Amino acid sequence: MVYEEKGIYTVHEFTLAVKNILTGSQLSDIWIRGEISNFTNHGSGHRYFTLKDKDSQLQCVMFKWHGQSLRFELERGMKVIVLGDIDVYEQRGQYQLKVRAIRPDGTGELYKAFEQLKNRLALEGLFSPAHKKPLPGFPRKIGVATSPTGAVLHDILTVLKRRYPVNVLFMPTVVQGEYAAESIVRSIQALNSTDVDLIILGRGGGSIEDLWAFNEEIVARAIFGSKIPIISAVGHETDYTIADFVADVRAPTPSAAAEIAVPDRRELYSRITRLNDRLIECQRRSIADTASRLSHIQECIQSCLVLDKITNYIQYIDELTRRQTAGIQRMLEIKTYLFTAHAGKLNAVSPLGTLSRGYSIALKLPDKTVVKSIGDVKEKDEIQIIVNDGKLKCNINDKEVCRWK
């Protein structure tokens, strides 16, 4: 009776009550620091892990739609700072943290995230030399994306003015902080819609945290997708970012980027002077060589030399004529002999030859069919007899069968 007066909860009702208390408290939208353990990257895309320190542990879940913006992959033992809301998993009656964002905690974790992204993009081919675009030799306009407040812009303009003055299109860009990556991407896309021949993407030195915007994946893909060549000039000479690996050329400093972007006009003037001297010398030698050849030709065409050459050619032509005439004569003799031999063979089997030896040919009129047997004619038939020197017309008066042996 005592329990009924106070009311009895079911397990589910009690769990919901606890959930309402927890989720309605100030334990939402909070940052928590800890170390990842028991990490599971589920096939559904959701990530489950335990966030712990030396004294306690907290169950966490990061759903797929929040994990899509994660710039590195979680690993066991990684120290992180997570942003999330407290919640209760009703089926187990277990409170947990629904994570919405994760950041590496400490320089070591940042370097780990840097290496993860670097390796993944390298496997995709974003760093391949085959995709590097060549820089223009003589750019007419250069786009510069950097902060308007730092010394980077001043250094670049100073070097360009000294080496090779060109038009510069400055694109103010946020290069540090939470919104830096999006600002860099917008600047690259904006410069790609202009008539610049080259883009310098730069900022001064700093810690890995200060330069982290240039390690963002969206920045790397924006650089890779640029139609215009990009020089990356981020940090000092020893600083390397993902942007440096993706860019078409990496410069150790912004000033060095300006030196790479344009030629030195003093070197160009010196080169043009050397080429001019070489051209003049080549022309002088060409004229001298031509004059020498003309002098030699003039010596070769003296009248006596020409007459000797003509005489030699005439004699050579006469010799060729005699050879050709003799060759033709021999060929005619051979052909005549062959013709006579073949004519003799043909005459031996010719019907006219047979007639000349006393034989004749009998043809039955009027169709002039050859009479081969006495059966081919009958009495009073008219026949024609061909002899060696003419034709005879006759009539059949009688037939006699003979047996020739």
Domain ranges of the chain: 2-105, 142-262, 267-324, 354-395
Residue 17, H or E segment: helix 11-23
CATH of 142-262, picked from 3.40.605.10, 3.20.20.140, 3.40.50.880, 3.40.50.10550, is 3.40.50.10550
Instruction: Dihedral sign for Cα 327, 328, 334, 338, please.
Output: positive
Distance CA 378, CA 381 (A): 6
Are 173 and 233 spatial neighbours (Cβ–Cβ below 8 Å)? no
* C-alpha–C-alpha distance, residues 275 and 116, integer Å: 51
By the 8 A CB rule, do 175 and 219 touch? Answer: no
Q: In the beta sheet, which residues pair with residue 102? A: 82
Q: Where are the strands (E) in 173-274, listed by range?
A: 198-203, 230-234, 249-250
Quote the tokens at residue 203: 């900022």
- Enumerate residues 6+ apart whose C-beta is below 8 A from 171: 143, 144, 145, 187, 190, 191
Count Cβ atoms below 10 Å from residue 157 Cβ, excluding itself: 15
Q: Burial-class residue 122 by CB neighbours within 10 Å (0-12, 13-18, 19+).
A: middle
List the CATH code of the domain at 2-105: 2.40.50.140
Q: For residues 364 and 368, give the distance between their C-alpha atoms in angstroms, rounded to a whole number.
A: 5
pLDDT tens for the 405 residues of the chain, in order: 344 555 676 667 666 777 777 766 666 778 888 888 888 888 888 889 988 888 888 889 999 888 877 767 788 888 888 888 888 887 887 888 889 888 877 666 677 778 888 888 999 999 999 999 999 999 999 999 999 888 899 999 999 999 988 999 999 999 988 788 999 999 999 999 999 999 999 888 777 778 888 988 899 999 999 999 999 998 777 778 899 999 999 998 899 999 999 998 888 888 888 999 899 999 989 998 888 888 877 776 666 666 777 888 888 898 888 889 998 999 998 988 888 888 877 777 777 767 777 778 888 888 888 888 888 888 888 888 888 788 888 888 887 777 655
Common-topology check for domains 2-105 and 142-262: no
Q: Report the distance separating Cα 314 and Cα 320, nearest Å.
A: 10
